[in-house]
Amino acid sequence: MYSQDEINSAVSAGVLAPEAADKLRAHVVSIRERPVTDEEHFRFVSSFNDIFVSIGVVILLFAVAAIGQAIGTAAFAVDPNDFGGNSRFVRQESAEIMFGAALAAATAWLLAEFFTRKRRMALPSIILLLAFVAGLLFTSLGLAATIAGPDNIGSGSGYLIAAFASGSGLIAAGGAWLHWRRFGVPITIAAGAGALAIFAIMLVVSVLASATSLNGDTLILPLVFLSGMAIFMLAMRWDMSDRERQTRRSDVAFWLHLLAAPMIAHPLFHWLGVTDGQDIGVGAAAGALAVYVAMGLVALAIDRRALLVSALAYVLVTLASLFDRFGAVELNVALTALVIGSALLTLSAFWTPIRRVVVEQLPATMRSRLPAAGVPLTA
């Protein structure tokens, strides 16, 4: 199986003529009876060797992280009989996190030089990128906690912890940018955007929590929602630069949508009371279903399924509560699965014609920015 990016590379190298590449894409479209844009391609595994290498990568990263933790333990050795050294114990734990994460991040970068830069292996590249960015995040968090110590953190209350998290997010975002410049893995932009979201959210929380009487917990969800919307707009920017979805930009947009979707969905359904763990009223259930339908229309318009998938669990809970409320106690789970499963399979089978109907209702200027759906651009 060859990705669009690899086909484009073959064209650029002169191995494959542009006309032959276009005919190949048209042939695939005719076989599948749907536009290539509707397939939402992205490379995850190209062979079983990807899985084989990924298992080895995970084991090796686990090993070096454990070695790093042992180094941190040795560097901040604590006498087990020193019951008054609680501060020392906390510093030791922070040092373990710092050294373990730092070694894992360094190892992930070195492995990426071979498996990503030379071999271009998809799944190992994703794992190595995530390990590198997460390693930077926890390294900076562990370093800050080790330097500050538990006493200073405690006296600074929650806003100082939020400030540490904010700085760590910025460092992780910078590392993601360097990784993108070196290796160009599509998921890197999403990882960097997530790190920047952590930076922005924790920065606002640390500033407002220290300057006002606002509770940081009440700020988190609105900030997560706004960050999700910002990442969604960034994803659309990448999507609009590749309407035919034939380059790596489409893969970048895919991962950004996958990140933005839960950040948008969770606050919305939380505010509707779906996540409270209590019985959902009819009004709240109707609101939740209306939100899901709206997300479905957006997903059809932009030709991305991430919104539908991310909100699926909330809709399952909502429908199960409704069936339970109206007396179908024993069958509420089965009926919920039947309704949702049938709806998703129907939508998948008729995605292209349904999407065409939705896109036809949009203004021509908006249609010209969305993935092609066989709809004329004239009003």
- Rounded CA-CA distance 372/359 in Å is 9
Band of residue 242 on the pLDDT scale cut at 50, 70, 90: confident
Q: How confident is the model at residue 374 (pLDDT cuts 50, 70, 90)?
A: low
- Give the residue-averaged pLDDT of 341-370: 89
Give the model confidence (pLDDT) of 184-219 as tens digits: 999 999 999 999 999 999 888 877 766 666 665 678
> Residue 144 phi/psi, 5° resolution?
-65, -45
Q: For residues 313 and 266, what is the distance between their CA atoms, to the nearest angstrom?
A: 10
Tell me the pLDDT band of 379, cut-offs 50, 70 and 90: very low
* pLDDT at residue 368 in the model: 86
Q: What is the mean pLDDT of the chain?
A: 82
> Do 37 and 243 form a contact (C-beta atoms < 8 A)?
yes
Between CA 186 and CA 328 the distance in angstroms is 46
Neighbours of 82 (CB within 10 A): 10
Q: What integer pLDDT is reported at residue 79 of this predicted model?
A: 54
Contacts of 363 (CB under 8 A, 6+ apart): 379
Select from 228, 61, 70 the least CA-distant residue to 133: 61
Please tell me the predicted confidence (pLDDT) of residue 21.
64
- Number of CB atoms found within 10 A of residue 92's CB: 19
By the 8 A CB rule, do 95 and 72 touch? Answer: yes
pLDDT of res. 236? 94
Nearest to 227 by CA among 204, 255, 254: 204
Closest by CA position to 322, among listed 291, 345, 288 = 288
CA distance 354 to 348: 10
Per-residue pLDDT band at 135 (split at 50, 70, 90): very high
The 3-state DSSP class for residue 4 equals helix
Q: Supply the pLDDT for residue 193.
A: 96
Q: In the prediction, which pLDDT does 83 show?
A: 46
**77-123 per-position pLDDT tens digit:** 655 555 445 556 667 788 888 999 999 999 999 999 999 999 889 89
Query: What confidence score (pLDDT) does residue 61 get?
Result: 97
Q: What is the largest CA-CA distance in the chain?
A: 80
Backbone phi and psi for residue 168, each to the nearest 5 degrees, phi listed first: -65, -40
pLDDT of 378 strictly over 50: no
- Report the pLDDT value the prediction gives residue 376, as an integer from 0 to 100: 45
Least confident of 87-101, 221-235, 258-272: 87-101
Q: How confident is the model at residue 39 (pLDDT cuts 50, 70, 90)?
A: low
Q: Is the dihedral of CA 258, 139, 62, 79 positive or negative?
A: negative
Please give the average per-residue pLDDT across 243-250, as a whole number.
84
pLDDT tens across 293-339, in order? 999 999 999 999 988 988 898 988 888 887 777 666 567 778 888 88
How much is the pLDDT for 275?
Answer: 80
Distance between CA 139 and CA 252 in Å, rounded? Answer: 26
d(CA 345, CA 22): 30
Does residue 155 have a pLDDT over 60? no
| Crossing angle (nearest 10°) for helices 86-115 and 122-183 | 90
The token pair that represents 360 in the structure block = 């036809």
Residue 241 has pLDDT above 70, yes or no: yes
In sequence order, the 6+-apart residues with CB closer than 8 A to the CB of 341 are none
